[in-house]
Protein backbone atom coordinates (compact mmCIF):
# COMPACT_ATOMS: atom_id res chain seq x y z
CA UNK A 1 0.00 0.00 0.00
CA UNK A 2 1.19 3.50 -0.74
CA UNK A 3 2.12 5.66 2.16
CA UNK A 4 -0.76 8.01 2.82
CA UNK A 5 0.18 11.60 3.07
CA UNK A 6 -2.55 13.08 0.97
CA UNK A 7 -4.05 15.22 3.63
CA UNK A 8 -7.59 14.52 2.44
CA UNK A 9 -9.79 13.73 5.35
CA UNK A 10 -12.23 10.89 5.40
CA UNK A 11 -15.58 10.33 7.02
CA UNK A 12 -15.49 6.94 8.68
CA UNK A 13 -18.16 4.95 10.45
CA UNK A 14 -16.54 2.32 12.68
CA UNK A 15 -18.94 -0.51 13.55
CA UNK A 16 -18.22 -3.10 16.23
CA UNK A 17 -20.15 -5.32 18.62
CA UNK A 18 -17.86 -4.36 21.52
CA UNK A 19 -15.93 -1.18 22.22
CA UNK A 20 -13.75 -0.16 25.19
CA UNK A 21 -14.72 1.45 27.59
CA UNK A 22 -18.35 0.39 27.10
CA UNK A 23 -18.22 -3.40 26.60
CA UNK A 24 -15.41 -5.88 26.22
CA UNK A 25 -14.89 -9.62 25.94
CA UNK A 26 -11.63 -9.59 23.97
CA UNK A 27 -9.16 -7.76 21.77
CA UNK A 28 -11.79 -6.48 19.31
CA UNK A 29 -13.06 -4.09 21.98
CA UNK A 30 -9.56 -2.69 22.55
CA UNK A 31 -9.13 -2.06 18.84
CA UNK A 32 -12.60 -0.52 18.45
CA UNK A 33 -11.92 1.77 21.41
CA UNK A 34 -8.49 2.93 20.33
CA UNK A 35 -8.14 2.92 16.54
CA UNK A 36 -10.99 5.45 16.06
CA UNK A 37 -9.24 7.75 18.54
CA UNK A 38 -6.02 7.61 16.55
CA UNK A 39 -7.92 8.32 13.32
CA UNK A 40 -9.79 11.22 14.89
CA UNK A 41 -6.53 12.72 16.13
CA UNK A 42 -5.27 12.56 12.54
CA UNK A 43 -8.17 14.81 11.58
CA UNK A 44 -10.64 12.30 10.16
CA UNK A 45 -14.33 12.50 11.02
CA UNK A 46 -14.73 9.12 12.67
CA UNK A 47 -17.77 7.92 14.55
CA UNK A 48 -18.35 4.61 16.28
CA UNK A 49 -21.55 2.59 16.51
CA UNK A 50 -22.31 -0.39 18.74
CA UNK A 51 -25.28 -2.10 20.45
CA UNK A 52 -26.45 -0.69 23.76
CA UNK A 53 -26.15 -3.69 26.07
CA UNK A 54 -27.67 -3.77 29.53
CA UNK A 55 -24.23 -3.57 31.13
CA UNK A 56 -23.52 -0.18 29.52
CA UNK A 57 -24.31 2.53 32.02
CA UNK A 58 -24.01 6.24 31.52
CA UNK A 59 -25.75 9.43 30.57
CA UNK A 60 -26.39 9.38 26.86
CA UNK A 61 -28.25 11.78 24.63
CA UNK A 62 -31.43 10.34 23.13
CA UNK A 63 -31.34 11.17 19.44
CA UNK A 64 -34.24 9.49 17.74
CA UNK A 65 -35.97 6.19 17.11
CA UNK A 66 -36.91 4.49 13.89
CA UNK A 67 -38.39 1.22 12.63
CA UNK A 68 -36.22 -1.68 11.45
CA UNK A 69 -37.70 -4.68 9.64
CA UNK A 70 -36.25 -8.02 10.75
CA UNK A 71 -38.00 -10.83 8.91
CA UNK A 72 -41.66 -10.55 9.82
CA UNK A 73 -40.94 -8.38 12.84
CA UNK A 74 -40.96 -4.63 12.85
CA UNK A 75 -38.66 -3.61 15.65
CA UNK A 76 -37.75 -0.16 16.89
CA UNK A 77 -34.18 1.04 17.16
CA UNK A 78 -33.63 3.72 19.75
CA UNK A 79 -30.57 5.76 18.95
CA UNK A 80 -28.48 7.29 21.71
CA UNK A 81 -25.24 9.16 21.58
CA UNK A 82 -22.19 9.14 23.85
CA UNK A 83 -18.51 9.76 23.21
CA UNK A 84 -14.98 8.54 23.77
CA UNK A 85 -12.45 11.20 24.70
CA UNK A 86 -9.34 11.13 22.58
CA UNK A 87 -6.24 12.99 23.61
CA UNK A 88 -2.89 13.35 21.94
CA UNK A 89 -0.36 16.01 22.85
CA UNK A 90 -2.27 19.26 23.32
CA UNK A 91 -5.34 18.04 21.48
CA UNK A 92 -8.38 16.68 23.24
CA UNK A 93 -11.42 15.77 21.22
CA UNK A 94 -14.53 13.64 21.36
CA UNK A 95 -15.19 10.66 19.14
CA UNK A 96 -18.97 10.30 18.89
CA UNK A 97 -20.33 6.87 19.78
CA UNK A 98 -23.82 5.90 18.63
CA UNK A 99 -25.65 3.24 20.58
CA UNK A 100 -28.34 1.16 18.92
CA UNK A 101 -30.76 0.32 21.68
CA UNK A 102 -33.55 -2.22 21.64
CA UNK A 103 -34.94 -3.72 24.81
CA UNK A 104 -35.80 -7.07 23.27
CA UNK A 105 -32.38 -7.75 21.69
CA UNK A 106 -29.81 -6.09 23.91
CA UNK A 107 -31.21 -5.72 27.41
CA UNK A 108 -29.71 -9.05 28.47
CA UNK A 109 -27.08 -10.33 30.90
CA UNK A 110 -24.31 -11.07 28.38
CA UNK A 111 -23.11 -9.67 25.11
CA UNK A 112 -23.34 -12.90 23.12
CA UNK A 113 -24.41 -16.51 23.18
CA UNK A 114 -28.19 -16.38 22.65
CA UNK A 115 -30.56 -18.55 20.59
CA UNK A 116 -31.51 -15.59 18.38
CA UNK A 117 -28.00 -14.32 17.60
CA UNK A 118 -28.77 -14.10 13.86
CA UNK A 119 -31.81 -11.95 14.53
CA UNK A 120 -30.00 -9.70 17.02
CA UNK A 121 -27.16 -8.86 14.66
CA UNK A 122 -29.31 -8.72 11.53
CA UNK A 123 -31.27 -6.08 13.42
CA UNK A 124 -28.09 -4.30 14.49
CA UNK A 125 -26.62 -4.32 10.97
CA UNK A 126 -29.78 -2.95 9.40
CA UNK A 127 -30.21 -0.36 12.13
CA UNK A 128 -26.66 0.91 11.48
CA UNK A 129 -27.46 1.56 7.83
CA UNK A 130 -30.88 3.00 8.63
CA UNK A 131 -29.54 5.43 11.21
CA UNK A 132 -27.21 7.25 8.78
CA UNK A 133 -29.74 9.57 7.09
CA UNK A 134 -31.32 10.17 10.48
CA UNK A 135 -28.10 11.56 11.89
CA UNK A 136 -27.22 13.13 8.55
CA UNK A 137 -23.89 11.33 8.34
CA UNK A 138 -22.67 10.13 4.95
CA UNK A 139 -19.45 8.26 5.64
CA UNK A 140 -16.97 7.60 2.84
CA UNK A 141 -16.17 4.31 4.50
CA UNK A 142 -18.11 1.95 6.73
CA UNK A 143 -15.56 -0.11 8.64
CA UNK A 144 -17.13 -3.42 9.69
CA UNK A 145 -15.52 -5.71 12.24
CA UNK A 146 -16.15 -9.45 12.58
CA UNK A 147 -19.27 -11.42 11.82
CA UNK A 148 -21.76 -9.36 13.84
CA UNK A 149 -21.28 -6.57 11.30
CA UNK A 150 -20.83 -8.66 8.11
CA UNK A 151 -24.41 -8.12 6.88
CA UNK A 152 -23.67 -4.39 6.58
CA UNK A 153 -21.27 -5.06 3.66
CA UNK A 154 -23.85 -7.28 1.99
CA UNK A 155 -26.80 -4.94 2.44
CA UNK A 156 -24.84 -1.84 1.49
CA UNK A 157 -23.75 -3.35 -1.81
CA UNK A 158 -26.87 -5.27 -2.74
CA UNK A 159 -29.63 -2.99 -1.49
CA UNK A 160 -28.72 0.39 -0.06
CA UNK A 161 -26.29 1.59 -2.74
CA UNK A 162 -29.21 1.88 -5.13
CA UNK A 163 -30.30 4.82 -3.01
CA UNK A 164 -28.28 8.01 -3.82
CA UNK A 165 -27.69 8.69 -0.13
CA UNK A 166 -25.57 5.52 0.11
CA UNK A 167 -24.30 5.22 -3.44
CA UNK A 168 -20.75 6.45 -2.80
CA UNK A 169 -20.16 4.60 0.47
CA UNK A 170 -17.73 1.67 0.55
CA UNK A 171 -17.19 -0.97 3.18
CA UNK A 172 -14.04 -2.42 4.69
CA UNK A 173 -14.33 -5.69 6.61
CA UNK A 174 -11.76 -6.59 9.27
CA UNK A 175 -11.30 -10.15 10.46
CA UNK A 176 -10.32 -10.11 14.12
CA UNK A 177 -10.76 -13.85 14.50
CA UNK A 178 -11.85 -16.10 11.66
CA UNK A 179 -12.91 -18.86 14.02
CA UNK A 180 -16.02 -16.96 15.12
CA UNK A 181 -18.14 -16.89 12.01
CA UNK A 182 -21.82 -16.41 12.79
CA UNK A 183 -23.25 -19.37 10.87
CA UNK A 184 -27.03 -19.77 11.02
CA UNK A 185 -29.93 -21.74 9.60
CA UNK A 186 -31.15 -20.69 6.16
CA UNK A 187 -34.06 -18.85 7.81
CA UNK A 188 -31.50 -16.09 8.47
CA UNK A 189 -31.93 -15.06 4.82
CA UNK A 190 -35.37 -13.71 5.70
CA UNK A 191 -34.00 -11.90 8.72
CA UNK A 192 -31.51 -10.17 6.45
CA UNK A 193 -34.21 -9.42 3.91
CA UNK A 194 -32.50 -11.15 0.98
CA UNK A 195 -33.95 -13.78 -1.35
CA UNK A 196 -33.16 -17.49 -1.68
CA UNK A 197 -30.84 -16.72 -4.60
CA UNK A 198 -28.26 -15.61 -2.02
CA UNK A 199 -28.15 -19.14 -0.64
CA UNK A 200 -25.31 -20.39 -2.81
CA UNK A 201 -21.61 -20.87 -2.12
CA UNK A 202 -20.55 -17.88 -4.28
CA UNK A 203 -22.70 -15.70 -2.06
CA UNK A 204 -23.45 -16.23 1.62
CA UNK A 205 -24.14 -19.93 1.90
CA UNK A 206 -21.58 -21.85 3.90
CA UNK A 207 -22.05 -25.62 4.09
CA UNK A 208 -25.82 -25.31 4.08
CA UNK A 209 -25.86 -22.45 6.57
CA UNK A 210 -25.95 -18.69 6.17
CA UNK A 211 -22.59 -17.17 7.09
CA UNK A 212 -22.51 -13.61 8.41
CA UNK A 213 -18.72 -13.67 7.95
CA UNK A 214 -19.19 -14.39 4.26
CA UNK A 215 -21.53 -11.40 4.02
CA UNK A 216 -18.42 -9.37 4.83
CA UNK A 217 -15.80 -11.42 2.98
CA UNK A 218 -17.76 -11.56 -0.28
CA UNK A 219 -19.26 -8.08 -0.36
CA UNK A 220 -16.78 -5.71 1.33
CA UNK A 221 -14.69 -3.61 -1.04
CA UNK A 222 -11.51 -4.57 0.79
CA UNK A 223 -10.80 -7.04 3.56
CA UNK A 224 -8.07 -7.06 6.11
CA UNK A 225 -6.97 -8.88 9.18
CA UNK A 226 -4.90 -7.84 12.12
CA UNK A 227 -1.43 -9.04 11.17
CA UNK A 228 0.44 -9.85 7.99
CA UNK A 229 1.25 -13.39 9.02
CA UNK A 230 -2.39 -14.18 9.87
CA UNK A 231 -3.41 -12.69 6.50
CA UNK A 232 -1.17 -15.32 4.89
CA UNK A 233 -2.11 -18.13 7.26
CA UNK A 234 -5.87 -17.81 6.69
CA UNK A 235 -5.33 -18.52 3.02
CA UNK A 236 -4.23 -22.04 3.95
CA UNK A 237 -6.40 -25.00 4.88
CA UNK A 238 -4.73 -25.24 8.30
CA UNK A 239 -5.83 -21.78 9.49
CA UNK A 240 -8.53 -20.89 6.98
CA UNK A 241 -11.52 -22.28 8.93
CA UNK A 242 -12.89 -23.62 5.61
CA UNK A 243 -12.90 -20.10 4.17
CA UNK A 244 -9.37 -20.30 2.77
CA UNK A 245 -10.63 -20.85 -0.79
CA UNK A 246 -12.68 -17.67 -0.71
CA UNK A 247 -9.80 -15.77 0.90
CA UNK A 248 -7.39 -16.96 -1.77
CA UNK A 249 -9.87 -15.81 -4.37
CA UNK A 250 -9.91 -12.36 -2.77
CA UNK A 251 -6.19 -12.31 -2.00
CA UNK A 252 -5.67 -9.11 -4.03
CA UNK A 253 -8.13 -7.35 -1.73
CA UNK A 254 -6.84 -8.92 1.49
CA UNK A 255 -4.36 -7.08 3.71
CA UNK A 256 -2.73 -7.48 7.11
CA UNK A 257 -2.38 -4.54 9.50
CA UNK A 258 -0.98 -5.12 12.96
CA UNK A 259 -2.97 -3.70 15.89
CA UNK A 260 -1.65 -1.04 18.17
CA UNK A 261 -2.51 -0.50 21.81
CA UNK A 262 -3.62 2.62 23.59
CA UNK A 263 -0.47 3.97 25.18
CA UNK A 264 -2.18 6.22 27.69
CA UNK A 265 -4.65 3.55 28.82
CA UNK A 266 -1.83 1.07 29.29
CA UNK A 267 0.82 3.25 30.87
CA UNK A 268 3.00 1.93 33.70
CA UNK A 269 4.07 5.50 34.41
CA UNK A 270 0.49 6.56 35.03
CA UNK A 271 -1.73 3.61 35.87
CA UNK A 272 -4.24 4.07 38.67
CA UNK A 273 -4.57 0.32 39.23
CA UNK A 274 -0.93 -0.38 40.12
CA UNK A 275 0.79 0.43 43.40
CA UNK A 276 4.10 1.67 42.01
CA UNK A 277 4.67 3.55 38.77
CA UNK A 278 7.63 2.76 36.56
CA UNK A 279 9.14 3.24 33.11
CA UNK A 280 12.38 2.92 31.14
CA UNK A 281 14.09 5.45 33.43
CA UNK A 282 12.77 3.83 36.57
CA UNK A 283 13.04 0.05 36.33
CA UNK A 284 13.11 -0.28 40.11
CA UNK A 285 9.55 0.97 40.26
CA UNK A 286 8.37 -2.35 38.80
CA UNK A 287 9.45 -4.44 41.80
CA UNK A 288 6.82 -3.34 44.36
CA UNK A 289 4.15 -4.36 41.86
CA UNK A 290 5.49 -7.89 41.92
CA UNK A 291 5.29 -8.06 45.69
CA UNK A 292 1.81 -6.56 45.72
CA UNK A 293 0.70 -9.08 43.11
CA UNK A 294 2.13 -11.99 45.10
CA UNK A 295 0.19 -10.76 48.11
CA UNK A 296 -3.01 -10.33 46.13
CA UNK A 297 -2.69 -13.85 44.75
CA UNK A 298 -1.83 -15.39 48.12
CA UNK A 299 1.66 -16.40 47.05
CA UNK A 300 4.86 -16.16 49.12
CA UNK A 301 6.80 -12.96 48.40
CA UNK A 302 9.82 -14.65 46.88
CA UNK A 303 12.23 -13.29 44.31
CA UNK A 304 11.55 -15.93 41.67
CA UNK A 305 10.39 -15.46 38.06
CA UNK A 306 6.65 -14.85 37.98
CA UNK A 307 4.96 -15.94 34.78
CA UNK A 308 1.53 -14.51 33.93
CA UNK A 309 -1.24 -15.67 31.67
CA UNK A 310 -4.28 -13.48 30.93
CA UNK A 311 -6.59 -15.00 28.41
CA UNK A 312 -9.92 -16.26 27.32
CA UNK A 313 -9.61 -19.89 28.37
CA UNK A 314 -10.32 -21.57 25.03
CA UNK A 315 -8.53 -24.08 22.78
CA UNK A 316 -7.16 -21.31 20.54
CA UNK A 317 -4.87 -20.13 23.30
CA UNK A 318 -2.70 -23.27 23.39
CA UNK A 319 -3.68 -24.24 26.91
CA UNK A 320 -3.38 -27.95 26.12
CA UNK A 321 0.37 -27.38 25.78
CA UNK A 322 0.42 -26.09 29.35
CA UNK A 323 -1.70 -29.02 30.51
CA UNK A 324 0.80 -31.45 29.00
CA UNK A 325 3.75 -30.07 31.01
CA UNK A 326 2.02 -28.58 34.04
CA UNK A 327 4.06 -30.60 36.56
CA UNK A 328 7.36 -30.00 34.80
CA UNK A 329 6.59 -26.30 34.69
CA UNK A 330 5.58 -26.11 38.33
CA UNK A 331 8.54 -28.14 39.52
CA UNK A 332 10.69 -25.18 38.53
CA UNK A 333 11.42 -22.42 41.00
CA UNK A 334 8.83 -20.07 39.54
CA UNK A 335 5.36 -18.73 40.24
CA UNK A 336 2.51 -18.87 37.75
CA UNK A 337 -0.46 -16.49 37.77
CA UNK A 338 -3.57 -17.05 35.67
CA UNK A 339 -6.45 -14.66 35.00
CA UNK A 340 -9.11 -15.85 32.63
CA UNK A 341 -12.48 -17.35 31.99
CA UNK A 342 -13.97 -19.56 29.34
CA UNK A 343 -14.17 -23.33 28.99
CA UNK A 344 -14.99 -25.12 32.25
CA UNK A 345 -12.32 -27.67 31.49
CA UNK A 346 -9.50 -25.13 31.49
CA UNK A 347 -10.91 -23.21 34.44
CA UNK A 348 -10.83 -26.40 36.47
CA UNK A 349 -7.41 -27.35 35.16
CA UNK A 350 -5.89 -24.15 36.55
CA UNK A 351 -7.85 -24.34 39.78
CA UNK A 352 -6.58 -27.87 40.23
CA UNK A 353 -3.00 -26.68 39.63
CA UNK A 354 -3.56 -24.06 42.32
CA UNK A 355 -4.81 -26.74 44.71
CA UNK A 356 -1.77 -28.89 44.08
CA UNK A 357 0.83 -26.12 44.08
CA UNK A 358 -0.59 -23.47 46.43
CA UNK A 359 2.84 -21.88 46.89
CA UNK A 360 3.37 -21.48 43.18
CA UNK A 361 0.09 -20.90 41.41
CA UNK A 362 -2.33 -17.98 41.68
CA UNK A 363 -5.63 -18.20 39.82
CA UNK A 364 -8.53 -15.81 39.33
CA UNK A 365 -11.37 -17.09 37.18
CA UNK A 366 -13.36 -14.20 35.75
CA UNK A 367 -12.92 -11.03 33.74
CA UNK A 368 -11.22 -8.26 35.65
CA UNK A 369 -9.53 -5.40 33.81
CA UNK A 370 -7.86 -3.71 36.82
CA UNK A 371 -6.45 -7.04 37.97
CA UNK A 372 -5.18 -7.67 34.44
CA UNK A 373 -3.22 -4.44 34.65
CA UNK A 374 -1.72 -5.45 38.02
CA UNK A 375 -0.68 -8.78 36.53
CA UNK A 376 0.89 -7.17 33.46
CA UNK A 377 2.78 -4.84 35.80
CA UNK A 378 3.79 -7.37 38.45
CA UNK A 379 5.00 -10.34 36.40
CA UNK A 380 8.41 -10.93 34.86
CA UNK A 381 7.21 -13.08 31.99
CA UNK A 382 3.98 -13.44 30.03
CA UNK A 383 2.98 -16.73 28.42
CA UNK A 384 0.99 -16.87 25.16
CA UNK A 385 1.40 -20.29 23.51
CA UNK A 386 -1.49 -19.79 21.06
CA UNK A 387 -2.44 -22.41 18.51
CA UNK A 388 -3.33 -19.47 16.26
CA UNK A 389 -3.39 -15.75 17.03
CA UNK A 390 -4.75 -13.15 14.59
CA UNK A 391 -2.81 -10.36 16.31
CA UNK A 392 -2.80 -10.77 20.05
CA UNK A 393 -2.78 -7.78 22.33
CA UNK A 394 -1.64 -9.49 25.51
CA UNK A 395 1.98 -9.68 24.34
CA UNK A 396 1.98 -5.96 23.44
CA UNK A 397 0.44 -4.86 26.73
CA UNK A 398 2.91 -7.12 28.56
CA UNK A 399 5.87 -5.49 26.78
CA UNK A 400 4.46 -2.08 27.58
CA UNK A 401 4.64 -3.09 31.27
CA UNK A 402 8.14 -4.52 30.96
CA UNK A 403 6.91 -8.09 31.15
CA UNK A 404 8.68 -10.25 28.63
CA UNK A 405 6.50 -12.44 26.39
CA UNK A 406 7.02 -16.13 25.73
CA UNK A 407 4.98 -16.89 22.63
CA UNK A 408 4.34 -19.39 19.93
CA UNK A 409 5.40 -17.83 16.62
CA UNK A 410 2.10 -17.66 14.79
CA UNK A 411 -0.02 -14.83 13.37
CA UNK A 412 0.51 -11.51 15.09
CA UNK A 413 2.73 -13.11 17.71
CA UNK A 414 5.22 -13.94 14.96
CA UNK A 415 5.02 -10.36 13.67
CA UNK A 416 5.57 -8.67 17.03
CA UNK A 417 7.83 -10.94 19.09
CA UNK A 418 11.34 -12.01 18.07
CA UNK A 419 13.60 -14.33 20.05
CA UNK A 420 16.06 -12.44 22.23
CA UNK A 421 19.66 -13.01 21.17
CA UNK A 422 22.07 -12.63 24.11
CA UNK A 423 24.97 -11.92 21.72
CA UNK A 424 23.50 -9.29 19.40
CA UNK A 425 20.83 -8.21 21.92
CA UNK A 426 18.27 -8.28 19.10
CA UNK A 427 14.75 -9.50 19.87
CA UNK A 428 12.20 -8.77 22.56
CA UNK A 429 10.97 -12.10 23.90
CA UNK A 430 11.12 -15.88 23.72
CA UNK A 431 9.52 -17.86 20.94
CA UNK A 432 8.86 -21.38 19.72
CA UNK A 433 7.49 -22.51 16.41
CA UNK A 434 6.40 -26.13 16.65
CA UNK A 435 3.08 -26.61 18.36
CA UNK A 436 4.32 -29.00 21.00
CA UNK A 437 4.75 -28.82 24.78
CA UNK A 438 8.46 -29.58 24.70
CA UNK A 439 9.19 -26.62 22.44
CA UNK A 440 7.13 -24.39 24.74
CA UNK A 441 8.90 -25.66 27.84
CA UNK A 442 12.30 -25.03 26.28
CA UNK A 443 11.32 -21.44 25.49
CA UNK A 444 10.16 -21.00 29.10
CA UNK A 445 13.47 -22.43 30.31
CA UNK A 446 15.47 -19.97 28.18
CA UNK A 447 13.38 -17.13 29.58
CA UNK A 448 13.72 -18.26 33.19
CA UNK A 449 17.47 -18.72 32.82
CA UNK A 450 17.99 -15.25 31.44
CA UNK A 451 15.74 -13.75 34.11
CA UNK A 452 17.55 -15.44 37.00
CA UNK A 453 21.09 -15.89 35.65
CA UNK A 454 21.88 -12.81 33.58
CA UNK A 455 20.69 -9.74 35.49
CA UNK A 456 22.47 -7.24 33.21
CA UNK A 457 21.02 -8.70 30.03
CA UNK A 458 17.64 -8.93 31.72
CA UNK A 459 17.67 -5.25 32.67
CA UNK A 460 18.57 -4.36 29.09
CA UNK A 461 15.70 -6.43 27.75
CA UNK A 462 13.32 -4.84 30.24
CA UNK A 463 14.43 -1.36 29.32
CA UNK A 464 14.04 -2.11 25.65
CA UNK A 465 10.49 -3.40 26.22
CA UNK A 466 9.58 -0.34 28.25
CA UNK A 467 11.01 2.08 25.67
CA UNK A 468 9.40 0.70 22.52
CA UNK A 469 6.34 2.07 20.74
CA UNK A 470 3.30 -0.19 20.50
CA UNK A 471 0.82 2.59 19.78
CA UNK A 472 -1.41 3.07 16.76
CA UNK A 473 1.06 5.60 15.31
CA UNK A 474 2.08 3.33 12.42
CA UNK A 475 -0.96 1.21 11.86
CA UNK A 476 -3.54 4.00 11.86
CA UNK A 477 -1.83 5.30 8.69
CA UNK A 478 -2.12 1.89 7.12
CA UNK A 479 -5.87 1.92 7.80
CA UNK A 480 -6.17 5.31 6.12
CA UNK A 481 -4.38 3.83 3.09
CA UNK A 482 -6.76 0.91 3.17
CA UNK A 483 -9.79 3.19 3.26
CA UNK A 484 -8.50 5.16 0.28
CA UNK A 485 -7.84 1.94 -1.56
CA UNK A 486 -11.43 0.81 -0.94
CA UNK A 487 -12.73 4.12 -2.29
CA UNK A 488 -10.49 3.83 -5.38
CA UNK A 489 -11.46 0.23 -6.04
CA UNK A 490 -15.10 1.02 -5.86
CA UNK A 491 -14.71 3.98 -8.25
CA UNK A 492 -12.86 1.76 -10.72
CA UNK A 493 -15.50 -0.92 -10.48
CA UNK A 494 -18.18 1.66 -11.13
CA UNK A 495 -16.30 2.78 -14.27
CA UNK A 496 -15.75 -0.70 -15.70
CA UNK A 497 -18.66 -2.00 -17.81
P1 LIG B 1 -8.54 -12.24 22.13
O2 LIG B 1 -9.07 -11.06 21.37
O3 LIG B 1 -8.44 -13.49 21.33
O4 LIG B 1 -9.26 -12.48 23.42
P5 LIG B 1 -6.16 -10.59 22.52
O6 LIG B 1 -4.82 -10.91 23.09
O7 LIG B 1 -6.19 -9.94 21.19
O8 LIG B 1 -7.02 -11.93 22.54
O9 LIG B 1 -6.93 -9.60 23.50
C10 LIG B 1 -7.31 -9.98 24.77
C11 LIG B 1 -7.60 -8.74 25.57
O12 LIG B 1 -8.50 -9.08 26.62
C13 LIG B 1 -6.38 -8.17 26.24
O14 LIG B 1 -6.58 -6.78 26.45
C15 LIG B 1 -6.36 -8.91 27.57
O16 LIG B 1 -5.66 -8.23 28.56
C17 LIG B 1 -7.84 -8.94 27.89
N18 LIG B 1 -8.29 -10.05 28.72
C19 LIG B 1 -8.41 -11.36 28.37
N20 LIG B 1 -8.91 -12.08 29.40
C21 LIG B 1 -9.10 -11.21 30.42
C22 LIG B 1 -9.62 -11.33 31.76
N23 LIG B 1 -10.02 -12.51 32.23
N24 LIG B 1 -9.69 -10.22 32.52
C25 LIG B 1 -9.28 -9.03 32.03
N26 LIG B 1 -8.80 -8.84 30.78
C27 LIG B 1 -8.72 -9.91 29.99
Domain boundaries along the sequence of the chain: 11-260+473-495, 283-469
Q: Whose CA is nearest to atom 19 of ligand 1?
A: 311
pLDDT at site 242: 98
Closest atom of ligand 1 relative to the 412 alpha carbon: 7
Q: Is 311 in the pocket of ligand 1 (CB under 6 A)?
A: yes
Separation of CA 39 and ligand 1 centre (Å): 23
CA of 62 to the centre of ligand 1 (A): 31
Q: Whole-angstrom Cα distance, residue 410 to residue 298?
A: 34
pLDDT at 8: 83
Q: Which pLDDT score is estimated for 3?
A: 41
- Which residues partner with 225 through β-bridges? 175, 256
Residue 230: per-residue pLDDT = 98
Does ligand 1 come within 6 angstroms of the Cβ of 393? yes
Residue from 25, 27, 176 to probe ligand 1 pocket by mutation (most atoms less than 8 Å from CB): 27
Q: By C-alpha distance, which of 156, 148, 51 is closest to 102?
A: 51
What's the confidence (pLDDT) of residue 497? 54
* Contacts of residue 223, Cβ cutoff 8 Å, sequence gap at least 6: 172, 173, 174, 175, 216, 217, 247, 250, 253, 254, 255
For ligand 1, whether the C-beta of 156 sits within 6 Å is no
Question: Please, what's the b/e burial string for 142-162 (b: 16 or more CB within 10 A of its CB; e: otherwise)?
Answer: bbbbbbbbbbbbbbbbbebbe
Q: Do domains 11-260+473-495 and 283-469 have the same CATH topology?
A: yes
Check if 337 has its Cβ closer than 6 Å to any atom of ligand 1: no
- Note the CATH number of domain 11-260+473-495: 3.40.50.2000
Whole-angstrom distance, CA of residue 419 vs CA of residue 92: 38
Q: Which atom of ligand 1 is nearest to the CA of 393?
A: 6
For ligand 1, the distance from its centroid to the CA atom of residue 28, given in whole angstroms, is 9
Q: Distance from the CA of 30 to the center of ligand 1, in angstroms?
A: 9
Helix axes 212-219, 150-158, angle to 10 degrees: 50
Q: Where does 70-145 have alpha helices with state H?
A: 103-106, 117-134
CA of residue 26 to ligand 1 center, whole Å: 5
Q: Residue 80 C-alpha to ligand 1 middle, in angstroms?
A: 28
pLDDT digit string (tens) for the chain, length 497 residues: 444 444 589 999 999 999 999 999 989 999 999 999 999 999 999 999 999 999 999 999 999 999 999 999 999 999 999 999 998 878 899 999 999 999 999 999 999 999 999 999 999 999 999 999 999 999 999 999 999 999 999 999 999 999 999 999 999 999 999 999 999 999 999 999 999 999 999 999 999 999 999 999 999 999 999 999 999 999 999 999 999 999 999 999 999 999 999 998 999 999 999 999 999 999 999 999 999 999 999 999 999 999 999 999 999 999 999 999 999 999 999 999 999 999 999 999 999 999 999 999 999 999 999 999 999 999 999 999 999 999 999 999 999 999 999 999 999 999 999 999 999 999 999 999 999 999 999 999 999 999 999 999 999 999 999 999 999 988 999 999 999 999 998 888 777 65
Which atom belonging to ligand 1 lies closest to the Cα atom of 339?
A: 23
Find out whether 31 and 224 touch, Cβ atoms under 8 Å.
no
Residue 267: partners with Cβ closer than 8 Å, 6 or more residues away: 400
Report whether residue 25 contacts ligand 1, using a CB cutoff of 6 Å: no
pLDDT at 7: 55
Q: Is 111 helix (H, G, I), strand (E, B) or coil?
A: coil
Taking CA atoms only, the protein residue closest to ligand 1 atom 4 is: 26
pLDDT at residue number 296: 98
Residue 149 CA to ligand 1 centre (angstroms): 21
Yes or no: say if 113 and 98 are a contact pair by the CB < 8 Å rule.
Answer: no
Conformational region of residue 66, where left means phi above 0, alpha means psi within -120 to 50, and beta covers everything else: beta
Closest ligand 1 atom to residue 384 Cα is: 6
Nearest CA residue ID for atom 12, ligand 1: 26
Pocket test for ligand 1, best of 34, 310, 340 (most atoms within 8 A of CB): 310
Is the sign of the CA dihedral 173, 107, 192, 81 positive or negative?
Answer: negative
Which of 394, 405, 417, 475 most suits a substitution to test ligand 1, by most atoms within 8 Å of the C-beta?
394
Closest residue CA from atom 22 of ligand 1: 367
Count of CB atoms situated within 10 Å of the CB of 473: 12
CATH 3.40.50.2000 fits 283-469, yes or no: yes
Evaluate: CB of 340 within 6 angstroms of ligand 1: yes
* CA 310 to ligand 1 center in whole angstroms: 6
For residue 8, how far is its CA from the centre of ligand 1 (angstroms)? 35
Amino acid sequence: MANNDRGDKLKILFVAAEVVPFAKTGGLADVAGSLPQALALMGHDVRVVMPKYRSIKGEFVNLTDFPVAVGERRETAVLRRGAINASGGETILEVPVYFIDNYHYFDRDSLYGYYDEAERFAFFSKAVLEMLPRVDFQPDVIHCNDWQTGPISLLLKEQYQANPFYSKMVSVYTIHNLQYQGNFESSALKLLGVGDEYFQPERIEFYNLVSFTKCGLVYADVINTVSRTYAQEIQTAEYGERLDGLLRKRSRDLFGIINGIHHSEYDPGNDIYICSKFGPENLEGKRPNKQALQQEMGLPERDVPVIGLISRLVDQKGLDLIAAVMDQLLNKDIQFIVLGSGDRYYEQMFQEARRRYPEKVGVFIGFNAPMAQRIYAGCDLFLMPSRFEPCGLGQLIALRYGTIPIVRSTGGLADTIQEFDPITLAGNGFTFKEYNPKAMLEAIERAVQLCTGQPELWRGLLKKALSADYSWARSANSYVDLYHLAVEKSKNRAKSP
